[in-house]
Amino acid sequence: MTDKDALSLSFVETVAGFTAGVVSTLCLHPLDLVKTRLQVDRTSSSRLGGSYLVIRRIWHNEGGIAAFYRGLAPNLVGNSTSWALYFLCYSNTKDYLRKLHGSQNRELSSLNYFLASGTAGVLTSILTNPIWVIKTRMLSTSSHTPGAYRSLTAGIQQIYRSDGVLGFYRGLFPALFGVSHGALQFMAYEKLKVFWAQRNPLSTPQGPDLRNRPDQHRKLGNLDLFVVSSVAKVFAGCVTYPYQVLRSRLQMHDAHLIYRGVTDAVRQIWAQEGITGFYKGLGPNIIRVLPSTWVTFLVYENTKAYLPQLAGKRAA
């Protein structure tokens, strides 16, 4: 592969991640808002029907359907930028690890996938945390709440005036811990793809048996990717979801008045809400992230599949 080809691949992966982030956010932002409201709720216990109550309250008290798209701008910027950076870093790190092992065709181990996705997650979290602070504060409050941000730019100005640069990095520690979510998801995704290709001979009508050919994969169809990405996302989500609750709590407007830090937030949630407090909003989160995951991975994988074809047509 030439440098020109590598640049083209990096560009396509970045654009694919960016596009997937935009599409999934536009479709699923209302569920993200409901999830955030549930995560920051300290007054009620986690129970079935909580999402419905939040939806009804937003609809009646905050202005109907338009209220469900409050904070759309920072969410669009955050998701599109995050996925673009993540896929770019993840792909380049995998390539580096393959070169380190001396073979571009080598099937990476689970640890290698975990390291690659973890590295991409750390870099992405540090670069995009300021956007998530603004997004959380906008989604966790109605537009009528005193001191609520009117827009993305207004949020940037207010945070800088009141908290300085450090204000943009509230909740970064639990966000970095949450890198384990992406690491577990991508590790499971990559290994499940190999497993699915080996165990499902109907994935493609051609090619030799892959059990002894780790450098060759059967081509997985969209339905295969749909199943594999779903299982990987649910697995990672259930294991690491509590960090999202902690991050949302620490990024609230009045977080500095309620919590002294991550440890204090954990202690208070445990004492006041029990184990279920760490899983508030899990239901709408799963409903929201699964379609987002499908869009992201289908766009990503299909773009990678069509890239050689496009390059071949240009060469011809």
* Confidence check: pLDDT of 3 > 80: no
206 domain residue, yes or no: yes
Q: Which domain holds residue 179?
A: 3-307
Residue 224: which CATH number? Answer: 1.50.40.10
99 domain residue, yes or no: yes
* CA distances, 110 to each of 97, 305, 313 (Å): 12, 23, 35
Question: Which DSSP letter does residue 264 get?
Answer: H
46 domain residue, yes or no: yes
| Interatomic CA distance for residues 88 and 17, integer angstroms | 8
Tokens of 243: 């960090």
* pLDDT of res. 76: 87
Question: Which DSSP letter does residue 257 get?
Answer: H
* pLDDT of res. 126: 92
| Interatomic CA distance for residues 120 and 245, integer angstroms | 22
| Interatomic CA distance for residues 34 and 41, integer angstroms | 11
86 domain residue, yes or no: yes
* pLDDT of res. 108: 85
The 10s digit of each residue's pLDDT in 87-128 is: 889 988 988 888 887 766 667 888 999 999 999 999 999 999
CB 251 within 8 A of CB 136: yes
The 10s digit of each residue's pLDDT in 168-187 is: 888 888 788 778 888 999 99
Regarding pTM above 0.85, the answer is no
Please give the distance of CA 153 from its chain centroid, rounded to a whole number.
23
Please give the distance of CA 280 from its chain centroid, rounded to a whole number.
18
315 domain residue, yes or no: no
316 domain residue, yes or no: no
User: What dihedral do alpha carbons 242, 247, 249, 253 form, nearest 10°?
Assistant: -170
Mean pLDDT calculated for residue range 57-62: 84
Name which of 126-130, 144-148, 264-268 the model is least confident about: 144-148
Cβ-Cβ contacts under 8 Å for 104 (sequence gap 6 or more)? 1, 95, 98
Confidence of residue 210 (pLDDT cuts 50, 70, 90): very low
Overall number of domains in the chain: 1
Tokens of 300: 């990503």
312 domain residue, yes or no: no
User: For all residues of the chain together, what is the average pLDDT?
Assistant: 80
Mean pLDDT calculated for residue range 196-216: 51
173 domain residue, yes or no: yes
Alpha helices in 41-150 (DSSP H): 50-61, 72-101, 110-139
Q: In which element (H, E) is residue 250 found?
A: helix 242-250
